[in-house]
Structure 1
Amino acid sequence: MPELRPAGVERRTFLRYTGFIGAAAAITASLSACGGPTSTADGETGGSDGSGTIEAGMSYPLSTGFDPMITSGATPYAANMHIFEGLVDLDPVTLVARPTLATGMPKKINATTYRATLRDGATFHDGSPVTADDVVFSFERILDEKNASLMAQFVPFIDTVTAVDAKTVEFKLKYAFALFPSRVAVARIVPKKIVEADVKKFDAEPVGSGPYRFVSATREDKIVFEKYDTYNGPHPAKAKKMIWRLISDQSARVSAMQSGRVQAIEDVPYIDVDGLSAPAKTEAVQSFGLLFLMFNTADERFADKRVRQALHYALDTEKIIRTAMVGNATAATGYVPPTHPDYHKAATVYTHDVAEARKLLAEAGLRDLKFSVLTTDTGWVKDIAPLLKESWAAAGVDATLDIAQSPAQWAKVDSGRFEVMVAPGDPSVFGNDVDLLMRWFYYGFWPEKRYGWSTTAAYKKVKQLLDKAAQAADEAVRKQLWAQVTDLVADEAALYPILHRKLPTAWNEKALPGFQPLPTTGLSFLDVGRA
């Protein structure tokens, strides 16, 4: 089968950015081989002293490997929170930065220089010490353009990283960046020796310094972890073992929770939230996680922003939230939800206005618009799809639904074979500041390679504003510039959120002391025991 990628995209870059669809298939055999029949100790209980087994139901399969420099898959990313550490990590519940491998938050030496000191006795899962050279290596491979790291776009301000001594690392910045101490959380520290020896094996069998070590993974089945006994960091494992069941089928996931096969599940179907309240605690947490509408602006119809705006105005978002999501979402009134500390209400808010939609389409000369819309087969997205079609039909628009698995749909997007796409997204797993959240969708790969916005004056303006905000020392100035970007991307609507959803999680309170649901995709068992 021929490889599909956008014209002009170098092969390695394409594979990195499209989630390693081919690479994931290639490593499946390796993952399965190292997994094999596993003694799961199903149902084993214990205390919060590092005994017992935690079993969880995850909603997404393994679509990528685990290399933290490049993985964007929801499940491997969640796994990496337990396997790897950064100098600084984000608290998975609050998304506030906290020192992990470092003894404290990076220390500011001057406006463009920071230093971080590693904790004594930190080791990787093979027993080797974590050194400053490993930290330098981890950042340099992210910054190396030929590696096409997904994390590189979040640290463009780093100039050099050097080892001062075995335990101290110094960062020199290209310009002052006030968010530096928390932003370094995007980089997980990896063992130089192991990665250089066999990067493909490392991607399939990750080795970190976190509280749990990787044991095995079988695609569309399970991931197995064990407590790393010599971990000496701030968040030691409180269970002997974890087994993550990869259960993409919604009803099967709910059944696993109700039967007690697992002690927690993510992505509870909205219709089942109340039904699970009796045997388990269920909570839906407001997230940045959005459902967005993205257009192929290389298509002359969607190059006209009036057409893009019209399709937003045509959507009865409140009906979608009320019926398909049982109220578990907030209609987008800005790029981030109102609960975000840097929320700005956009100058353009897309309320349900069929008359305005028809008017804009007429002005654009498209009275009989027909197109195909790609959506993923993620349970809640699939539930929403017919309501999108219904809303557009009320405005005289004929949309054909194309629903399939996520990798297949993104392959179409990345080969330029799409008109409109509706999909979920949540870069807040990498960080919750507006600069990072905006750069994910509006700076670099997405506008340049996915929705074809890179040649527009609007895109150039967005880049200028984000770069200016990044270099602003004053917080008020940064917020004002981010507000300008919000207004601009809302008006342009080349890619813009329809809603921000709540994430329903279910868990057994008695079995998992310390567990808390997350405002991002995935589950976290850091600081969680097994009773």
Structure 2
Amino acid sequence: MLPVLRSLAAACLALAGACSSPPAEVVPAAGPSEVRPQTPVISPSAEDTVVVAVRRLPASLDPFTELDPWGQRVVDDLLFEGLVRRQGDSAPWIEMALADRCEVDHDPAGRGVVCHLREGAQFHDGSAVTREDALLSVNQWLGSRGQGLRQRHGLDGLRAAVPADGPPSGPKDSSGRWLRLVFEHDDPLVLEKIAAIKIVPRGRVAQPDQPIGSGPFRFVAGDDVHLMLERTSKAPGLAGRIVLRAIDDGAAALTALRRAEVHVLAEVAPIHVPKELAKPAMAARFAAYLVSPARFDLLLFNLREGPQSGPRMRAALDLAAPRGELALQVYGLPGLPLTAPVDLHAPAPIDLVALAEGRDAEAGLGPLLARPAATADASGRAAADAILNELGWIHERGLRRRQGVMLRLPLTWDASPGLATGVARALRGAWKLLGVQAPSVTASWPYVQANLLRGGKFSVALARLASGTDVDLYPWFHSRGAHNLTGVADQTLDAAIDTYRAALTRIDRDRAKQAIATRLGELRPAIVLHAPLAVTLLARTLTGVQFVDDLPRLDRLGFAPGRTDDAWIHEP
């Protein structure tokens, strides 16, 4: 897989490290006999259990490591709490969790957040949540070990976690429940960002195979196929048990869904779209959504020097990118057409009735059915050729030259096998047809990031930005951003990013995101080679369906009263 831009706000920055390697093996979780006695929990019946079918189980549930999307959902929704929780459609975009009060302190001598831990909070093992637990947990994010986490969640400025003796502007408090998170600079989104820091009990930091947090669910058991979690206290109308079930065969996953053995199918195999969705009774039993997670495979351009630093050259290289070949031969399916790595696509309902009636164009599958035209790549190359000629780069005997200088744009990547190799080969082949030489510059991703990208010693680079729906792009595309690898510096873009950070409502935030996307599309510091599309199916008997980062929020799921899940298997 491609490296991952680990932070571009909740993003994995393969420019921060390590998503270039193949997915980690899933280490079997502790079985039921290994689980230690914990606080009493309900024993949900099968009727109280929501089963989610995923292609593979989360590689880790350790909140102090890089998490894949489903691992993040389990950690955020079920197992762990932070001082605050991301929530709401208005500033400050959070609600209290393990803290019952948090205040931002703008004192230049100690910028940060001061929080008070709520009384009575307990971990799943029955121990009380203390300030020492919170300080120990925050300290996992400090130093070199936590560098990737800080970058991923936009917390680069976090410098320390220390005890406090009360609120910034209030009386002293000797209860021992106040703490301060110290930051180097003010950040208007700091409360939202610290929600990523989960609190664990002392002594449990190094035991991710039996995760203990304070969330609404506790870990029960797991194996190579299942991950089971149970609610710690009764919640009428909500599921008492959540089970993640790994089914890597698309046909088997659909069969399990129709038999009511699973209630959420996270990703319908592309081969079954739209034929299987259009079968009789699907519309009556299931709701479908077209989702596009914020994961963008990119080309990054160095805007500081070199031929690619000119906007017309970047436009030519963008046009010449073989997106048709990438979609059909490398990725195997179309992606969402985007001009910038900004998530503007919310999960959208699919009209299964329209599909069943053959009205595919009205169903809402849109770009997933829009196969690239066979001539699209050739047309793009022709347009790119015209721009290069206009710029004085003449194509002669297979090479593009200007004033005797050959057009040579080294492609920096980490040489990881599989997808990255396919993307690099397609790009270099398409540019070669234009007479553009693109020799590979390869090394381990940590070396590429630290010695080439951060030093501005590259022309173009392959990377993946894996982020969340709401992500602060300041570190990556603001002229003063700490990780502005491309060197982009534009007042209009800076203003749009600043407006996003200052937004008080969802409407204002979304308008700012659109402005950021528009300006990034005009400047092209990075171009999107592929943004994935997928179909999610959910049983209509489920209640509380709410998407977070294009995955269903797990702790809100439940079943409608009096539901029936009659198994139905469509005969071929």
Do the two structures share a fold, i.e. TM-score over 0.5?
yes
How much has 1:264 moved relative to structure 2?
0.4
What residue is the counterpart of 1:101 in the other structure? 97
- Which amino acid counterpart does residue 175 of structure 1 have in structure 2? H
2:258 matched to 1:214? no
2:566 matched to 1:526? no
**More helix as a share of residues:** 1
For 1:515 and 1:217, locate their aligned partners in 2 and report how far apart those are by CA, in whole Å: 25
How much has 1:245 moved relative to structure 2?
1.6
- Which amino acid counterpart does residue 134 of structure 1 have in structure 2? D
For 2:423 and 2:22, locate their aligned partners in 1 and report how far apart those are by CA, in whole Å: 28
Q: State the identity as a percent.
A: 18
For 2:383 and 2:244, locate their aligned partners in 1 and report how far apart those are by CA, in whole Å: 48
Name the CA shift for 1:254/1:91 in 2 (closer, same or farther; >3 Å): farther
Name the CA shift for 1:256/1:100 in 2 (closer, same or farther; >3 Å): farther
How much has 1:157 moved relative to structure 2?
2.9
**Residue pairs, 1:59-208, within 5 angstroms:** 59-63=55-59, 65-81=60-76, 82-91=78-87, 97-103=93-99, 106-110=102-106, 112-152=111-151, 154-164=154-164, 165-195=175-205, 199=206, 201-202=207-208, 204-208=209-213
Deviations 1:8-27 (A, max 9, x none): xxxxx99x9315969945xx
For 2:340 and 2:125, locate their aligned partners in 1 and report how far apart those are by CA, in whole Å: 46
Name the CA shift for 1:96/1:473 in 2 (closer, same or farther; >3 Å): closer
Please, what TM-score do these two structures have when normalized by structure 2?
A: 0.61
Deviations 1:151-174 (A, max 9, x none): 356113334332334433223333
Q: How many aligned residue pairs are there?
A: 460
For 1:303 and 1:365, locate their aligned partners in 2 and report how far apart those are by CA, in whole Å: 19
How much has 1:58 moved relative to structure 2?
1.3
Contact 1:97 1:185 in 2 (8 A): no
Name the CA shift for 1:334/1:19 in 2 (closer, same or farther; >3 Å): closer
Name the CA shift for 1:281/1:483 in 2 (closer, same or farther; >3 Å): closer
What residue is the counterpart of 2:238 in the other structure? 238
- Which amino acid counterpart does residue 229 of structure 2 have in structure 1? E
Deviations 1:272-324 (A, max 9, x none): 45433614210114553334345899xx9989987765442124759988999
Deviations 1:179-237 (A, max 9, x none): 11212122122223321xxx2x32x332211112223444xx43423324259xxx899
Name the CA shift for 1:469/1:326 in 2 (closer, same or farther; >3 Å): closer
What residue is the counterpart of 2:472 in the other structure? 433
For 1:509 and 1:334, locate their aligned partners in 2 and report how far apart those are by CA, in whole Å: 35
Q: Structure 1: which 5+ residue stretches go unaligned?
A: 1-12, 39-45, 341-349, 401-409, 448-452
**Residue pairs, 1:114-513, within 5 angstroms:** 114-152=113-151, 154-164=154-164, 165-195=175-205, 199=206, 201-202=207-208, 204-218=209-223, 221-229=224-232, 238-270=238-270, 272-274=272-274, 275-276=276-277, 278=282, 279-285=285-291, 287-293=293-299, 309-315=315-321, 330-338=336-344, 353-359=380-386, 367=398, 392=430, 396=434, 413=445, 425-428=465-468, 431-435=470-474, 444=483, 447=485, 458=487, 461=489, 487=519, 491=523, 493=525, 495-498=526-529, 500-510=531-541, 512-513=542-543
Name the CA shift for 1:89/1:481 in 2 (closer, same or farther; >3 Å): closer
What residue is the counterpart of 1:516 in the other structure? 546
Contact 1:306 1:364 in 2 (8 A): no
Deviations 1:69-110 (A, max 9, x none): 222322322221221112222249999833242455632354
Contact 2:325 2:426 in 1 (8 A): no
| Partner secondary structure for residue 257 of structure 1 | helix
For 1:377 and 1:20, locate their aligned partners in 2 and report how far apart those are by CA, in whole Å: 11
How much has 1:177 moved relative to structure 2?
1.7
How much has 1:375 moved relative to structure 2?
9.1
How much has 1:56 moved relative to structure 2?
1.0
Contact 2:105 2:114 in 1 (8 A): yes
Q: Tell me the C-alpha RMSD between the 2 structures.
A: 5.7
Contact 1:317 1:331 in 2 (8 A): no
How much has 1:243 moved relative to structure 2?
1.9
| Partner secondary structure for residue 496 of structure 1 | strand
**Mean Cα displacement is larger for which, 124-133 or 284-293?**
284-293
| Partner secondary structure for residue 137 of structure 1 | helix
Contact 1:293 1:497 in 2 (8 A): yes
Name the CA shift for 1:519/1:354 in 2 (closer, same or farther; >3 Å): same
Name the CA shift for 1:185/1:473 in 2 (closer, same or farther; >3 Å): closer
For 2:92 and 2:251, locate their aligned partners in 1 and report how far apart those are by CA, in whole Å: 34
- Which amino acid counterpart does residue 257 of structure 1 have in structure 2? L
Residue of structure 2 aligned with 1:57, choices 50, 53, 59: 53
Name the CA shift for 1:160/1:147 in 2 (closer, same or farther; >3 Å): closer
For 2:90 and 2:291, locate their aligned partners in 1 and report how far apart those are by CA, in whole Å: 11
| Partner secondary structure for residue 177 of structure 1 | coil
| Partner secondary structure for residue 535 of structure 2 | strand
Name the CA shift for 1:295/1:238 in 2 (closer, same or farther; >3 Å): same
- Which amino acid counterpart does residue 427 of structure 1 have in structure 2? S
Contact 1:177 1:471 in 2 (8 A): no
Larger gyration radius, structure 1 or structure 2: 2
| Partner secondary structure for residue 143 of structure 1 | coil
For 1:471 and 1:161, locate their aligned partners in 2 and report how far apart those are by CA, in whole Å: 29
**Mean Cα displacement is larger for which, 148-157 or 359-368?**
359-368
